[in-house]
Amino acid sequence: MKKFLLIVIIVAIIAFSYKESFLVHRFYVKSFYTIFYTEEGVVQKAWELYNKGEYRRLEKFLDRVTEVYLTNNELKKIAGLNYIKLGQKEKGAELIASSMENSSIQLDELMKILESLFENKYYGEIIYFYDKNILRNNANCAFYYGASLYHSNRYSEAIQTLNFSRTNGYRGDRIDFYSGITLEKMGKFDEAEKLLLSAYNANPYDRDIKKALVDLYRKTKQFDKAEYLLRKK
């Protein structure tokens, strides 16, 4: 019994000491950053490191400052983007989603995030955001969701979402392309050809569009059209 009580006391002392040391550490960290930075200054510093591509340095910086500014959604968002750059995509996506859920994030900010994710081929993360109801009912966001569904081989959902995006006003130069290649995967060749031709006429120097149209012509045995496009510079 005495041994048991002694163990309980030791554990309690260790737990109390850990808690106290954590609070003291947090106090000193908070004191440092509140003396040398404003909260806005911390966010600005974080963006500077991110834009310079200093992701490891930013990770260490954020590890310290997020102890102080636990509820700052901008820092959560930067941390999320940074984790994605470091290859920790799921953790990054969760943080970005968390930063959006309880904040009035502006559409232009959201579009920058989506563009960055899409350019880096993080299609699963975009789908994750949409499924969390963060991106719904916006034509611009729906385009990225639809294109990401295409890259995830979810063609029926992709074309529905791309149609929603188009109907609700999205006018980006890639929607005809993605709608076309999605319909081609679904075997709807006539509709696909019309959309891919529209995309090609709008941007005849885009290699992806040209290749998709040539592949479609070959698949539908329109070899003369495929040959004509290949010869055309």
Domain ranges of the chain: 22-105
Q: According to the model, what pLDDT value does residue 189 have?
A: 97
- Return the amino acid letter for 6: L
Q: Which residue has the tokens 């019309």?
A: 194
The torsion angles phi and psi of 107, rounded to 5 degrees, stand at -60, -40
Q: According to the model, what pLDDT value does residue 157 have?
A: 96
The torsion angles phi and psi of 173, rounded to 5 degrees, stand at -75, 0
- Could you tell me the mean pLDDT of each successive run of 10 residues in the chain, 233 residues long? 48 45 47 60 89 91 80 85 82 76 65 81 83 72 94 97 93 90 97 96 93 95 91 79
Residue 67 in contact with residue 29, Cβ under 8 Å?
A: yes
How distant, in Å, are the alpha carbons of 25, 143, 196, 230, 231 from that of 205?
A: 58, 22, 13, 12, 13
pLDDT digits (tens, 9 = 90+) for 123-164: 988 887 777 666 567 888 899 999 999 999 999 999 999 999
Query: Which of 154, 149, 86 is CA-nearest to residue 120?
Result: 86
Q: According to the model, what pLDDT value does residue 54 have?
A: 92
Burial class (CB in 10 A: 0-12, 13-18, 19+), 11: exposed
Q: According to the model, what pLDDT value does residue 101 have?
A: 64
CATH class in words for 22-105: mainly alpha
